[in-house]
Structures are given as C-alpha cells and as structure tokens.
Amino acid sequence: MNSDKAFEQACGVMPGGVNSPVRAYMAVGGVPRFMAQGRGSVVTDVDGVEYIDYVGSWGPLILGHAYPDIVNAIEKAARLGTTFGAPTEAETRLAALIVDRIPSVGLVRLVSSGTEAVMSAIRLARAFTGRSIIIKCAGCYHGHSDGMLVDAGSGALTLGTPSSPGVTDGAAGETIVLPYNDIAAMRGAFESHRDAIAAVVIEPVAGNMGCVPPGDGYLLDLAEACSKHGSLLILDEVMTGFRVSPGGAQERYGVSGDLTRLGKIVGGGMPLAAYGGRREIMEMVAPSGPVYQAGTLSGNPLATAAGIATLEALSDATIYDKLESASVKLEEGLIREATDSGVSVTINRIASMLTVFFTTGPVTDLASAQSTDRARFGRFFHAMLDRGVYLPPSPFECWFVSAAHSADDIERTILAAGESFRAIG
C-alpha cells in the first residue's frame, strides 16, 4: 500500500512520521492513511480509497473539505500577496465578524494556533489580575504550552505536576487540575487558594477526552465562583466556537467568558486562531497595553480570507438546523445498531460533536471517559476504516459531522457501524 511506503519514508525524517502525535494511530494500531485529497464529506487516501470523513481536520471543517467559497477566497487572496507584515482590512472584517457573533468579546487578537491563543490569554489573565495560579480540568486540552501540560497533583486542590518531560515543576506548579463537572472541587480550590487564582480555563463542552457536556448549571456556577473571587473565566472555545451554536457554547449555555479563545473553525481550515474578551482586559495587550504578544504571520491574508468565508457561510442559520438533524440521525442510528448488536456504548453528543464510548455508565469527566474499552474501540476503528468510514484514531476524540454530510453518508455510516459492532462482538 502507498500509505505504508509513505509512512516509512516519513518516519525517516519526522518524529513518529507525523507532525502531530494523534495522527500516528498510536491509540488504535496500524499504519496511518496518508491523505491525497478531500471534497465535501469525503477524503481520498494515497491509494485512491475513499472514506466518509468524521475527523474534519479535528474540527475546522464544519463546511466540509474544499468548500468552494473558501477555496475561491484563498485563491483570490493569494494572488494579491500571501503576507505583508502590515495591517490589512480583511483582519478588521474577520475581527468584526467575531465580535458580532460573541457578545462577551469586545476586542480580539488574531494569532496562528489554538496553543498560541491559550498561552497568550493566560499571560493576559495573570497580568490583569496580578495573580499566578491557573485552574484547569482533567481531560480538557488547551494546547501544548508548558503550564497546560499538567496532571493533577497528589490529591485534589494541590498544585499540578508535569505531564510531559521538559515541563518544569515551576511551570506545572502554577496550575491546579480538578475534575470536570465538579463544582464543589472548584469552590474548594477557590477557598484554599484565596486571592491567588488568576483564572479558570475550561472547555465549555469538553471535546478532548471525547465529547463530555457540562452538567446543568455547571458553567453558570463556575462563572459565579470566578467573579466572586476576582478570577477570570477563560472559555476555551477553540473546538466549540461556531460549532455548538452560531455564538459557540456561550450562546448555547447563556454564559460569558471574561476571555475567550477561538481556533479551528474561525480559520476555515487555515492556521488561524484568536483570543478576545472584555475591552478593559484586552486593552492591556501590546501595543495598546504592556502585555507583550506578537506574530509575524498573525492575521495572515490567506487565513483571514478563509475565516471570513467560513463565518459568512455560517451566517445562514439553517446550516445549524441541518447539522443538528444529521447528527441526531447519526446518534440514533448508532444507538440502534449497538443495541441490536448487543454492544454496550454510551454516546455523548452536543450539536455536531459526538463520541461513542465503549462503556456502560454515563461519561461526565475524565475518570468515566477512561472507562471506555480502548482495545474494543481500536477494533471498531479498523472495522469502520475497512468499510470506508474515517473516524478519529483515538477513543478520546469527537467525531465531527459537517454540513457536507448527506443523508446518504449518514445512512452508510450507520450501516457500517452495525457491521462493525457485530464484527468486534
């Protein structure tokens, strides 16, 4: 197979043969498929095999692959020059679209990756509050900056320990890691670290331990606890922004972040992310304020063109209705097939984010997510791949439905899932 050869060559020149670890199939075994092209809901690998794609580049492709308006916008921008390192009007247009959709965002700064948005927002939160400790939840991913690669310390409420070599105890020791959906743990941390907590950083719908929705009232309680203790609430909407509703999780759950991070969809498949929030906080960012943050390619013309085209397409609200009904159909079909096959699954779904956990109980945090049967998922993943369905190669990821998935795609996926459930027993 061409993918085997491509992987072997890649391994000779890149660590693990990939540029981002989860692409390497470590969680499911086997050789990653190398992709040659994507159109709509379908990707084609270098062997010419087609798959219905639920990875969607891990979130950005809510309109599907090679969406014509986005491709045209990128082509047009490229002909006018790929980068200037000087301001362009397109940056203002994209920023205005963001500010318009997310009311808690008064000012926004464009950057190039979600990781960059996260680390910049954390620096800003520390500068604004004059405090150092950040709280995050176990199982939430906020990019790979040092202070976010942290595991819970020995016992809740203690400071964290590095989860990767190369992260210093110092960087990890300024992060507290608590269970998701546990407001009591959060309140406990605020009590035991009074006046030291700069911000709580959270995925308002967790998507990086698989899809784990916030419990009833959790986000509002969290916002209240933050404001009571003078800490900022940083909503990491890199995955949920423009996906779980036109205004992201904030609109869906009626909560406001002091700061918000965006990525993935906002760049329309190009490397672009953003952080923004309350005006008086964002005014501290250089050059209007003292908090330094910069980027040679920030607000890149090709990326802003793709972002604008995406957000403009998403202003047609019927897209969200279509996404919802396709996702409901998929969820219902998967439940039906699993039940008929005698396979126990828990399916979590919010809007067009969905995860099938091979477990029996509810999945509400990292501990319950980890009860999923990983070996079983690995077999299911390969059974689906053999049947032309491309799922994220990890049991702890979301499947993304896009506006390009047709009723026929969903039907074929459900059929493949039924066969795959029976094949893995």
Binds ligand PLP (CB under 6 A): choice among 45, 174, 203, 397? 203
- Does 397 bind ligand PLP (CB under 6 A)? Our answer is no
Find the shortest distance in angstroms from Cβ 32 to ligand PLP: 18
Number of residues that bind ligand PLP (CB under 6 A): 15
Does the annotation count 236 as an active-site position?
Answer: yes
Among 108, 238, 351, 414, binds ligand PLP (CB under 6 A): 238
Q: Which is nearer to ligand PLP, 364 or 420 (CB)?
A: 364
Shortest spacing between CB 110 and ligand PLP, in angstroms = 13
Q: Which strands sit side by side in the sheet containing 399-400, from one edge to the other?
A: 346-350, 353-357, 399-400
Is position 143 an interface residue for ligand PLP (rule: CB under 6 A)? yes
- Would you give the DSSP letter of residue 425? -
- The count of residues in the chain is 425
- Report DSSP state, residue 343: -
**Binding of residue 263 to ligand PLP (CB under 6 A):** yes
| Beta carbon of residue 380, minimum distance to ligand PLP (angstroms, whole number) | 23
Which segment (10-18, 83-91, 202-210, 405-413) binds ligand PLP by CB under 6 A? 202-210
| Active-site residue, selected from the candidate residues 45, 67, 264, 320 | 264
User: What are the CA-CA distances from residue 12 to residues 2, 6, 16, 34, 341 (Å)?
Assistant: 16, 10, 9, 15, 42
Q: How far out from the chain centre does Cα 213 lie?
A: 13
Among 101, 109, 142, 229, binds ligand PLP (CB under 6 A): 142
Q: Is 264 a catalytic residue?
A: yes
Contact with ligand PLP (CB under 6 A) among 17, 38, 64, 114: 114
CB of 211 to ligand PLP, least distance (A): 11
Stretch that binds ligand PLP, among 113-121, 162-170, 360-368, 369-377 (CB under 6 A): 113-121
Give burial (CB, 10 Å; 0-12/13-18/19+) of 328: middle
The angle that helices 301-313 and 89-101 make with each other, rounded to 10 degrees, is: 40
Residues 6+ away with beta carbon under 8 Å from 78? 301, 302
Residues 6 or more apart whose CB falls under 8 angstroms from that of 316 comprise none
Q: What's the closest the beta carbon of residue 398 comes to ligand PLP, in angstroms?
A: 9
Binding status of residue 256 toward ligand PLP by CB under 6 A: no
CB burial readout 361-373, b (16+ within 10 A) else e: eebbbbebbbebb
- Binding part of the chain for ligand PLP, among 114-122, 334-342, 349-357, 361-369 by CB under 6 A, reads 114-122
List the Cα angle 142/144/145 in 5-degree steps.
Answer: 95
Q: Please, is 27 exposed, middle or buried when counting C-beta atoms within 10 Å of its C-beta (0-12, 13-18, 19+)?
A: middle
d(CA 355, CA 341): 18
Which residue in the set 208, 364, 402, 413 belongs to the binding site for ligand PLP (CB under 6 A)? Answer: 208
Residue 141 is among the residues annotated as catalytic for this protein: yes
Pick the catalytic residue: 53, 236, 365, 409?
236
Segment contacting ligand PLP (CB under 6 A): 47-55, 139-147, 365-373, 405-413? 139-147
- Give, as one character, the DSSP assignment of residue 34: P
Q: Is 120 in the site for ligand PLP (CB under 6 A)?
A: no
Distance CA 49, CA 2 (A): 11
Question: Contact residues for ligand PLP (CB under 6 A)?
Answer: 113-115, 118, 141-143, 203, 207-208, 236, 238-239, 263, 273
Active-site residue list: 141, 236, 264
